Structure formats: C-alpha cells, structure tokens
Amino acid sequence: MSDSRYYKPNWDESPFWAQWVAVDESGIMCWYEFQPMMGDGFWIHYDGGMSTHKIIKEVQQGKIDWRSTLRVRPR
C-alpha cells in the first residue's frame, strides 16, 4: 500500500462550495462543504451541508489508506 499522506485531490475538479474532500473505504471520493467525521468505512457529514462524490480506483486497489485521505481546501 502506498503512503496515503501523498494523496492529493485535484481541487480544480471540485465544486466551488467544496472545502473538504475524503475517500471512503469503498473508493468513493466525496467533496464536502463542511468537515466530515470518520465512520465505519466511510465519512459522515451531519451538518446539512452539500456533498457530491465520484469513484476512484486507487482505494479499491489498495493503493490508498482511506482513513488518512481527509483533506481541507488549500488557502
């Protein structure tokens, strides 16, 4: 498994409102308006903010440890 500290999302592909991004254990990457919390294999957001997702293959192939993929938008 690669070192997921080097996981770098492409913020150019993010929605304008997205401030956070994370990848679930199943390989689903989600953009979040507000910071999500780690659940059992996935990220949870209870704040009523927006979110959207896409599937990435790197997690499904075991290249990224999903638990360390939470990133905040660079300033």
Average pLDDT for 45-50: 74
Print the domain residue range for 24: 14-72
pTM value?
0.79
* Inside any domain, residue 3: no
Domains in the chain: how many in total?
A: 1
Average pLDDT for 60-72: 83
* Inside any domain, residue 1: no
The b-or-e profile of 49-60 (16+ CB within 10 A means b, else e) is: eebeeeebebbe
* Inside any domain, residue 21: yes
Q: Can you list the positions of beta strands (E) in the chain?
A: 20-23, 28-32, 37-38, 43-44, 51-55, 71-72
* Inside any domain, residue 35: yes
* Inside any domain, residue 7: no
pLDDT, tens digit (0-9, with 9 covering 90-100), for 10-37: 899 899 999 999 988 888 888 898 899 9
Give me the helices (H) in 1-75, please: 57-60
* Inside any domain, residue 19: yes
